[in-house]
Structure 1
Amino acid sequence: MVNTIRWERGDDGIVLLTLDHPGRSANVMNDEFGASLVATVDRLEAERDQITGVILTSAKKTFFAGGDLDSLMRLTPADAESSTANTRMLKDAVRRLETLGRPVVAAVNGSALGGGLELALGCHHRVVLDNPAIEIGFPEVTLGLLPGCGGVVRTVRLLGVADALLNWLVRGQRRRPQDALANGLVDELAADEAAMMAAARAFIAANPDATQPYDRKGYKMPGGTPSTPALATQLPAMAAILRQQLKGAPYPAPRNILAAAVEGAQVDLDTAFTIEGRYFTELATGQISKNMIKALFFDVQTAGSRDRGEGHPPIQRVAVIGAGMMGAAIAYVCARAGMQVVLKDVTVEGALRGKAYSVGLLDKAVARGLSTPDDKDALLDRIHATDDLADLAGVDLVIEAVFEDPALKHKVYAEIEQVAPEALIASNTSTLPITLLAEGVSKPDEFVGLHFFSPVDKMPLVEVIRGERTSEATLQRALGVVHRLRKTPIVVNDSRGFFTSRVIGTFTNEGVAMLAEGIPAASIEQASSQAGYPAPVLALMDELTLTLPRKIRQETAAATVAAGGTWQPHAADAVIDRMIDDFGRPGRSGGAGFYDYREGKRAGLWPGLRENFGGTNLDTPFEDLKERMLFIEAVESVRCLEEGVLDSVVDANVGSILGIGYPAWTGGVLQYINQYEGGLPGFVARARVLAERYGDRFSPPRLLVEKADRGELFE
């Protein structure tokens, strides 16, 4: 068995344990580590009389990366017993470490997430490098899991039930060292590694009999146990907050974390570990964690590892044309990545308003302690607001973000080529074909789509669209830009609406079509929430504005007819037209849509929906409402794969979750089909039922049927 922990004892009796898994870029909690930890603790106990203290640190860039996700992906319900035994073995080893009778210090010289933080919590003192690149936290919940190596139990006993749940466990926050210190799980910060080791040795010298707070006589849990009246009155409110956040969506991890914390706080430490382990095993052997790990870890890694053309000169100067909301936000993320940015609009006042968007974001960051005034000034200095086309001279990349009109965009491209003939040109269009737009440039092989998502500073995805003549070198340079911005790319081929806009349009249309069928608006919203969508479908329509899908529909219909095809109206079309034309309710930006608004905030569904669209259809099964939204996006994604708009399953899954809010519990649009009860044949059968009930749009595409018949998955 490979040893993953190096041992070095100094003349002072302090044992330095260095986590260093040979051949791996990061330390992970796998079988080899488990065996190494047990052997190391065995030796510590055997040589205890010659030891004055223990320092635990890492030879890797990260302190400890957490659980071995490859192993977790292979667990099934049949592995429940062995999984429980393995986690118990690790917990027992960490428990023996913290009861060694000698001070144990975690010298955290890199990020400690999940299992790494659990290991550090098994030490008596935690010293962390004061490096803003380091992250501390329990992100397990974002992968459908909970901290299974004592993390829930120890955090609750160190901080109390309420603080542990709200500040660390339920939301999966990743905290910087200063924030982690303020929130109680870090004891001390150090400026550099030498200072970190000195602090660790100083703690050992000053605390030769160190113990954990919960092992000391007279220990009382911060905030009390669940039987304490003050905490007992808080628990229903905490449960209500959790229910409100989940909105009925099938995310079992937050529920299990809450249960493990509350139940574990009422029993002795050993029993609490057992409770935590059982809740962990339920999640680890279940399907939802598999879906989330695959999509949000493995698929995201695959999408981000594409060839970025490292041989090409790096992009240093960028011009963003159009200083509206999207253009201003794109300028901000480019400047944040260290690029020099020219932000051009038709007037200098418009360009300055666009730059003010960055000012607002930076002011908030400074106020929250996430940035400094000097960093703010440096970033703003990299954005040059202008109305002068000549300022584009010498830029490496131009990102066009003007109004969605091909003629206007062609005019802009002609102007760009006059002053920046060597620049790579990209369009931020969300629907217009890149091949069509490339007709306005002299070098269509150096033209590409870079579709950002709003809000650009937060959304992690960029859809890179390859036109018919986009060269491989241009595609690689575009991927290099996305990597520089620290975002995840998906690559799609050209078509109207590409992948993301085309698929999300089926979701919003389905929700509106339900309204046309007389289904109560509140039921539609509740169904989309319980399906796991981050925003209810009608609320999302209001945010997008109803005029946008109508404009896209009109342009698509015209293009279809011009190409000799026949346009098929959707049941949602008449509802959207009436909302705009008859009732003057275009969405949130217009002050009224499917919802009423007061001072820009939603104030409930518009009562007129029931009067004008019925709302008395109570016969449609609620499960149908949920699955219609999930199925229509999955079916349309298969069509995109069938038509060659998509080249990979990974891009479909990653793009659907990170770009358009497809529920993360599914693992993405195509993984949803894979994991549906009965696999692909089960999905096909259910799709045919939905098609019979609600329309041919649910009919399974040929590719889906053929793969189901062959017993294949989307891989």
Structure 2
Amino acid sequence: MIDYKLDADGVATLTWNVADRPMNVLNKASIAAFAEAVERAIGDPNVKGVIITSSRPEFVAGGDLDLIRGIKDVQESMDCSGPISRILRRLETSKKPFVAAINGSALGGGLEICLACHHRIVADSPIIQLGLPEVTLGLLPAAGGTQRLPRMIGIKKALPYLLEGRKADPAKALEAGIVDAVVPQAELLSRARDWLLATPAEAAIKPWDRKDFRFPGGAPQSPASIQIFFAVSGSLLSKTQGNFPAPEAILACIYDGCQVDLDTGLRIEQRQFARLATSQSTKNMIRLLFNDMNEANRLAGRSKAVPKRSFEKIGILGAGMMGAGLAHVASMAGLDVVLLDVSRDAAEKGKAYGANILEGQVARGRLAGSVRDAALERVTPTTNYADLADCDLVIEAVFEDRAIKAEVTRRAEAEMRDDAIFASNTSTLPISGLASVSKRPSRFVGMHFFSPAEKMPLVEIIRGVATSEETIAEALDFAKRIRKTPIVVNDCPSFYANRAFAMYPYEAMTMLAEGVNPNLIENAGRVAGMPMPPLALIDEVSAELLHKAMKQARLDRGAAYRAQPQDAVLELMVESLQRLGRKTGRGFYDYPSEGGRKLWAGLADHFPIANKQPSLEEVRERLMYSQSLEAARCVAEGIVGVRDADIGSLLGWGFPSFLGGVLGQIDTVGLPRMIAVCDRLSGHMPERYAVPQMLRDMAASGRTFH
């Protein structure tokens, strides 16, 4: 795992090469091998200095998350993180110079190895990233990162890297003081060797081990630093609502650890890491954000019997916001795009949507003009269906109207190749019904993208009753090609994501009609960790849109349709009051011309506030549990799998990652408690809170989703 080489000049080279893993990672075996190599170099009198580098494309990717996820108690946490922390401290106090020759990305524990070295040289490559992203997975750097980085570059400059997981390319890392030199890739090892040969052993002392050490930018107890800590802690609480413990633990490490010597600071870091590593929220985040996400992105559920499909050219029917966004995404992925609409002006306007995005990126220096020009060249606006003849895939992104969708389906299929896929971007209409007009329903699939398409990472791939497994597999290939994360769901009205997510705004409107204070409803949404409070969210997506979906459901189900508690609220807001949402400046909120928003004062006139109010926790439970319950019904009905349900909730509507996704919440809360709450609520809302038998069976047998 660590190749050891000593040359005639006394330079030892320790090369990371964890051959049994896809990348160099820190696990028990690799840490032990690294510790053995470091001790060997320190103990050999012939060694004058040591280079640490890698033979893999990356330097070291960080800790083995499977190992961390398996930690059960504090002692296991100490056994996991302690060895690497100790060997890095041994390395930096060995009185022999160590230099990190960073050939590729160094993240997490990889960068912590570099920080412990006496000198850091990185190859000049734009794809190299340096950073400490542990916070994004509910963790903290546990090999000295919270202690060394603030001592190197100052507390203020270190905070974004530690609290936000910010990453830097070599040039920015040099500017920040994280590395000491950026050199051509071919010169990396020779320049590291030159530095060692020119550095006397007595110079191999880190600044914080000298008596005259002073914190860059001010000591932790200085007025400027105290002000930073106060400001950051207040901002953190506002952002996390106390749901994400990692940023708070990192701030505690910095505040407490930087007021004492490094060895004590490292012990503080170890204790805080143990607090996180044993928490359920961290395990939820690692499982969802790393394990599950990686499986989805590598298409783990794709049929292996179907050959991989390559895509060169696609067609998009409809150049509105969704179609235009998809055209932009596909063109940036290197695909030729036929963007079709009823008029040339509409199609050109759709292309201009992508051009505006690209112009902004060029203006901010994030994109080269040549890349912009090439992407725009790949988009062909048209009104002619014959231009679809050589497309591999055609995506319909027109209005949610069956008649319009049927017309464009027939006209497109008349021109398409037999092996091409036809995909509908419908968000609510069942795919099997839309496919009934297709002359080849086996090649008809749902691909529900989320708006705005250029930002939202999720796509729901919907299997109709006639959709072939080959079509599903190829749709997954396309999702990967355009860098979207796909989930596969079976057909039903609203599919999975919209169906489960709708419970959040529906429950908010239901409580509003019951007389629950709207401020209480909104605060509960914030405290729960949702991206937006529910009534504000309705204004963003438009009450008019939800109203249209309600009317369509009534038409589709006819006499079988059951009125829902939120129906009357939507009818009042849309039909009687014309308060459609933010787009009109009038919804559950008012939107003053000077900016911002405030709850509409007239709400109390139409939805009188009851004398007795529920607790904040009761409102939070209703908002959150209703989503999980509907997701569980989707699993019980075979609409979606467990992993895809959780990923869909995270990427589709921002369900909190610390809960592990919408089904992860059920495991976190515990089925007995969840069932008890739902049974209590079903007394006045039997349809919404009816517990599926699957959950009762799971509770009886002690099973969980994960």
Instruction: Identify the TM-score tier after normalising by the shorter chain.
Output: over 0.9
Quote how far apart the aligned CAs of 1:128 are: 2.8
- 1:186 equivalent to 2:183? Answer no
List aligned pairs for 1:479-490, cutoff 5 A: 479-490=476-487
Relative to structure 1, the CA distance from residue 336 to residue 199 in structure 2 (aligned partners, 3 Å threshold; closer, same or farther) is farther
Q: Please give the alpha-carbon distance, in whole angstroms, between the structure 1 residues aligned to 2:59 and 2:461.
A: 34
- 1:301 equivalent to 2:294? Answer yes
- 1:219 equivalent to 2:213? Answer yes
Query: Aligned to 2:62, what secondary structure does the other structure show?
Result: coil
Q: Give the counterpart letter for 2:206 in structure 1.
A: Q
Residue 353 of structure 1 corresponds to: 349
CA distances 1:470-517 after superposition (whole Å, capped 9, x unpaired):
001100100000111222111000011100010111111011112112
Q: Please give the alpha-carbon distance, in whole angstroms, between the structure 2 residues aligned to 1:431 and 1:186.
A: 52
The structure 1 residue matched to 2:391, chosen from 392, 395, 400, is 395
CA distances 1:324-354 after superposition (whole Å, capped 9, x unpaired):
1111111111111111112222222222222
Q: Please give the alpha-carbon distance, in whole angstroms, between the structure 1 residues aligned to 2:661 and 2:54.
A: 35
Q: Please give the alpha-carbon distance, in whole angstroms, between the structure 1 residues aligned to 2:528 and 2:312.
A: 43
Q: Give the counterpart letter for 1:699 in structure 2.
A: A
Q: Please give the alpha-carbon distance, in whole angstroms, between the structure 1 residues aligned to 2:108 and 2:594.
A: 39
> 1:494, 1:645 within 8 Å by CA — same for their partners in 2?
yes
Q: Please give the alpha-carbon distance, in whole angstroms, between the structure 2 residues aligned to 1:250 and 1:299.
A: 21
Q: Please give the alpha-carbon distance, in whole angstroms, between the structure 1 residues aligned to 2:446 and 2:175.
A: 43
Query: Aligned to 2:14, what secondary structure does the other structure show?
Result: strand
List aligned pairs for 1:147-546, cutoff 5 A: 147-165=141-159, 167-192=160-185, 194-208=186-200, 209-246=203-240, 248-304=241-297, 305-307=300-302, 311-422=307-418, 423-546=420-543
CA distances 1:674-708 after superposition (whole Å, capped 9, x unpaired):
121xx322321222123236554122111111111
The structure 1 residue matched to 2:46, chosen from 44, 50, 69, is 50
Q: Give the counterpart letter for 1:388 in structure 2.
A: N
Q: Give the counterpart letter for 1:652 in structure 2.
A: A
Q: Please give the alpha-carbon distance, in whole angstroms, between the structure 1 residues aligned to 2:703 and 2:170.
A: 46
Relative to structure 1, the CA distance from residue 448 to residue 45 in structure 2 (aligned partners, 3 Å threshold; closer, same or farther) is same
CA distances 1:111-162 after superposition (whole Å, capped 9, x unpaired):
2221112122112233333333333222211211111111111111112222
> 2:432, 2:464 within 8 Å by CA — same for their partners in 1?
yes
- 1:558 equivalent to 2:519? Answer no
- 1:711 equivalent to 2:702? Answer yes
- 1:641 equivalent to 2:623? Answer no
Relative to structure 1, the CA distance from residue 86 to residue 475 in structure 2 (aligned partners, 3 Å threshold; closer, same or farther) is closer
- 1:98 equivalent to 2:89? Answer no
> 1:518, 1:615 within 8 Å by CA — same for their partners in 2?
yes
> 1:427, 1:451 within 8 Å by CA — same for their partners in 2?
yes
Comparing 591-600 and 657-666, the one that deviates more? 591-600
Residue 580 of structure 1 corresponds to: 574
Quote how far apart the aligned CAs of 1:581 are: 2.3
Relative to structure 1, the CA distance from residue 363 to residue 84 in structure 2 (aligned partners, 3 Å threshold; closer, same or farther) is same
Residue 119 of structure 1 corresponds to: 113
Q: Please give the alpha-carbon distance, in whole angstroms, between the structure 2 residues aligned to 1:104 and 1:455.
A: 48
Residue 62 of structure 1 corresponds to: 58
> 1:8, 1:16 within 8 Å by CA — same for their partners in 2?
yes
Q: Give the counterpart letter for 1:682 in structure 2.
A: R
Query: Aligned to 1:568, what secondary structure does the other structure show?
Result: coil
Query: Aligned to 2:293, what secondary structure does the other structure show?
Result: helix
Quote how far apart the aligned CAs of 1:249 are: 4.7
Q: Please give the alpha-carbon distance, in whole angstroms, between the structure 2 residues aligned to 1:365 and 1:141.
A: 27
Relative to structure 1, the CA distance from residue 207 to residue 457 in structure 2 (aligned partners, 3 Å threshold; closer, same or farther) is farther
Unpaired segments of 5 or more residues in structure 2?
A: none
Quote how far apart the aligned CAs of 1:201 are: 2.7
> 2:459, 2:479 within 8 Å by CA — same for their partners in 1?
yes
Quote how far apart the aligned CAs of 1:455 are: 2.7
Quote how far apart the aligned CAs of 1:449 are: 1.0
CA distances 1:653-673 after superposition (whole Å, capped 9, x unpaired):
111111121111110111211
Quote how far apart the aligned CAs of 1:289 are: 0.6
Q: Please give the alpha-carbon distance, in whole angstroms, between the structure 1 residues aligned to 2:119 and 2:592.
A: 50
CA distances 1:93-112 after superposition (whole Å, capped 9, x unpaired):
01121223233222222222
Percent identity (aligned): 42
> 2:58, 2:103 within 8 Å by CA — same for their partners in 1?
yes
Q: Please give the alpha-carbon distance, in whole angstroms, between the structure 2 residues aligned to 1:655 and 1:419.
A: 34
Quote how far apart the aligned CAs of 1:468 are: 0.5
Relative to structure 1, the CA distance from residue 220 to residue 439 in structure 2 (aligned partners, 3 Å threshold; closer, same or farther) is same
List aligned pairs for 1:21-40, cutoff 5 A: 21-40=18-37
Residue 672 of structure 2 corresponds to: 681
Q: Please give the alpha-carbon distance, in whole angstroms, between the structure 1 residues aligned to 2:31 and 2:660.
A: 29
Query: Aligned to 2:663, what secondary structure does the other structure show?
Result: helix
**TM-score, with length taken from structure 2:** 0.95
> 1:588, 1:600 within 8 Å by CA — same for their partners in 2?
no
> 1:27, 1:63 within 8 Å by CA — same for their partners in 2?
yes
Query: Aligned to 2:276, what secondary structure does the other structure show?
Result: helix
- 1:17 equivalent to 2:14? Answer yes
Relative to structure 1, the CA distance from residue 605 to residue 183 in structure 2 (aligned partners, 3 Å threshold; closer, same or farther) is farther
Q: Give the counterpart letter for 2:520 in structure 1.
A: S
Q: Give the counterpart letter for 2:700 in structure 1.
A: D
Relative to structure 1, the CA distance from residue 697 to residue 462 in structure 2 (aligned partners, 3 Å threshold; closer, same or farther) is same
Q: Please give the alpha-carbon distance, in whole angstroms, between the structure 2 residues aligned to 1:711 and 1:369.
A: 55
Quote how far apart the aligned CAs of 1:395 are: 1.0
Comparing 607-616 and 488-497, the one that deviates more? 607-616
Relative to structure 1, the CA distance from residue 446 to residue 249 in structure 2 (aligned partners, 3 Å threshold; closer, same or farther) is farther
Q: Give the counterpart letter for 1:370 in structure 2.
A: R
Comparing 224-233 and 428-437, the one that deviates more? 224-233
Q: Please give the alpha-carbon distance, in whole angstroms, between the structure 1 residues aligned to 2:129 and 2:213.
A: 30
Query: Aligned to 2:216, what secondary structure does the other structure show?
Result: coil
> 1:249, 1:529 within 8 Å by CA — same for their partners in 2?
no
Q: Please give the alpha-carbon distance, in whole angstroms, between the structure 2 residues aligned to 1:488 and 1:180.
A: 30
Q: Give the counterpart letter for 2:554 in structure 1.
A: A
Query: Aligned to 2:347, what secondary structure does the other structure show?
Result: helix
> 1:25, 1:60 within 8 Å by CA — same for their partners in 2?
no
Quote how far apart the aligned CAs of 1:311 are: 2.3
- 1:73 equivalent to 2:87? Answer no
Q: Please give the alpha-carbon distance, in whole angstroms, between the structure 1 residues aligned to 2:643 and 2:343.
A: 42
Quote how far apart the aligned CAs of 1:618 are: 4.9
Q: Give the counterpart letter for 2:137 in structure 1.
A: L
Relative to structure 1, the CA distance from residue 164 to residue 692 in structure 2 (aligned partners, 3 Å threshold; closer, same or farther) is farther
Residue 655 of structure 1 corresponds to: 648
Q: Please give the alpha-carbon distance, in whole angstroms, between the structure 2 residues aligned to 1:363 and 1:179.
A: 24
Query: Aligned to 1:463, what secondary structure does the other structure show?
Result: strand
Query: Aligned to 1:261, what secondary structure does the other structure show?
Result: helix
Relative to structure 1, the CA distance from residue 151 to residue 387 in structure 2 (aligned partners, 3 Å threshold; closer, same or farther) is same
> 1:595, 1:602 within 8 Å by CA — same for their partners in 2?
no
Tell me how many residue pairs correspond in the alignment: 700
Quote how far apart the aligned CAs of 1:217 are: 4.6
The structure 2 residue matched to 1:130, chosen from 89, 105, 124, is 124
CA distances 1:339-397 after superposition (whole Å, capped 9, x unpaired):
11122222222222222222222233333433211222222222222233332221111
Q: CA RMSD in A?
A: 2.0
CA distances 1:53-88 after superposition (whole Å, capped 9, x unpaired):
222122223221211111212212xx2023224423
Unpaired segments of 5 or more residues in structure 1?
A: none
CA distances 1:403-440 after superposition (whole Å, capped 9, x unpaired):
11111011111111222233211111111111111112
Relative to structure 1, the CA distance from residue 41 to residue 711 in structure 2 (aligned partners, 3 Å threshold; closer, same or farther) is same
The structure 1 residue matched to 2:692, chosen from 698, 701, 705, is 701
Residue 549 of structure 1 corresponds to: 546
